[in-house]
Chains A and B, each alone.
Chain A
Amino acid sequence: MNQLLSFIRKEFLHVLRDRKTLLILFGLPIVQILLFGFALTNEVRNANIVIIDDARDVASREIIGMISASRSFRVREAQGGHSSIDEMFRSGGVKLVVLFPANFNNDLMHAQRARVQIIADASDPNTASTLTTYVSAIIADYQKSTVQSIALPFSISTQVRMLYNPQLKGAPNFVPGVMALVLMLVCVMMTSIAIVREKELGTMEILLVSPFRPMLVIVAKVVPYLLLSLVNVATILVLSTYVLDLPVQGSILLLFGVSTVFILTSLALGLLISTITNSQQSAMLFSMMGMLLPTVLFSGFMFPIENMPIPLQVISNLVPARWYYTIVKAVMIKGLGITSIWRELLVLVAMTVVLVVISVRKFKVRLA
Chain B
Amino acid sequence: MKSSSNTLSNGVVLNSIGKTYDKGAITAVRDVSFSVQPGELFGLIGPDGAGKTSLFRVLTTLLLPDAGTATVAGFDVVKDFRAIRGIVGYMPGRFSLYQDLSVEENLNFFATLFGTTVEENYELIRDIYVQLEPFKTRRAGKLSGGMKQKLALCCALIHKPQVLFLDEPTTGVDPVSRKEFWEMLTRLKEQGITILISTPYMDEAMMCERIALIQGGRIMSIDTPSNIMHAFPTTLYSVRATDAYHLRMDLLAESFTESCHAFGDEVHLTLVHDASGKAAGRQEVIDAMRARGHIDVELREVEPSIEDCFIRLMGQHHA
Interface of A toward B, CB cutoff 8 Å: 201-203, 205-212, 365-368
Contact = CB atoms under 8 A, between A and B. Distances in A.
B263 interface: no
Nearest to B165: A209
Contact of A367 (B62, B90, B96, B97): B62
B114 A205 contact: no
Interface stretch (B80-88, B206-214, B275-283): B80-88
B302 interface: no
A206 B92 contact: yes
B43 to A, nearest CB: 20
B60 interface: yes
Given A205-B62, A367-B62, A212 B96 contact: no
Contacts of B155: 206
13 contacts: A201-B99, A202-B94, A203-B96, A205-B90, A207-B113, A208-B85, A209-B60, A209-B85, A211-B82, A211-B85, A211-B113, A365-B81, A368-B63
A208 B62 contact: yes
Given A209-B90, A366-B62, 9 more contacts: A206-B92, A206-B110, A209-B61, A209-B85, A210-B113, A211-B113, A212-B114, A365-B81, A366-B63
B94 to A, nearest CB: 5
A366 B61 contact: yes
Contacts of A210: 85-86, 113-114
A193 to B, nearest CB: 15
A84 to B, nearest CB: 61
B64 interface: yes
B136 interface: no
Nearest to B62: A367
Contact of B115 (A211, A367, A368): A211
Nearest to A206: B96
Interface string B254-293: 0000000000000000000000000000000000000000
B92 A202 contact: yes
B98 interface: yes
A205 B113 contact: no
Q: Quick one: which of B57, B99, B155 has the most chain A CB within 10 A?
A: B57
A97 B114 CA distance: 65
A206 B82 contact: no
A211 B155 CA distance: 14
Contacts of A202: 92-94, 96
Contacts of A366: 61-64
A125 B247 CA distance: 91
Nearest to A207: B113
B88 A209 contact: yes
Contacts of B97: 203
Contacts of B93: 202
Interface string B55-73: 0010011111000000000
A212 B62 contact: no
A368 B26 CA distance: 15
A207 B98 CA distance: 11
Contact of B98 (A203, A365, A367, A368): A203
B96 A205 contact: yes
A206 B97 CA distance: 9
Contacts of B99: 201
A248 B87 CA distance: 54
Most buried by B among A209, A212, A365, A366: A209
A208 B82 CA distance: 10
Nearest to A210: B113
B172 to A, nearest CB: 14
Contact of A205 (B64, B82, B86, B92): B92
A212 B114 CA distance: 7
Nearest to A205: B92
A201 B96 contact: yes
A366 B115 CA distance: 21
B113 A212 contact: yes
B63 A367 contact: yes
A368 B64 CA distance: 8
A78 B82 CA distance: 66
Interface string B102-127: 00000000100111000000000000
A211 B63 contact: no
A206 to B, nearest CB: 5
A208 B81 CA distance: 10
B107 to A, nearest CB: 13
Contacts of A212: 113-114
B67 to A, nearest CB: 15
A211 B86 contact: yes
Among A202, A211, A212, A368, find the residue whose CB has the most chain B CB atoms closer than 10 A: A211
B114 A209 contact: no
A368 B88 CA distance: 20
B194 to A, nearest CB: 15
A205 B60 CA distance: 9
B92 to A, nearest CB: 5
Contacts of A201: 96, 99
Contacts of B61: 208-209, 366
A201 B94 CA distance: 9
B60 to A, nearest CB: 5
B61, B63, B96, B114 — most chain A CB neighbours (10 Å): B96
Contacts of A207: 113
A367 B57 contact: yes
Nearest to A368: B63
B202 to A, nearest CB: 26
Nearest to A365: B81
A106 B310 CA distance: 110
A205 B88 CA distance: 13
Q: Which 7 A-B pairs have the closest CB atoms?
A: A202-B96, A211-B86, A367-B62, A203-B96, A209-B90, A209-B60, A210-B113
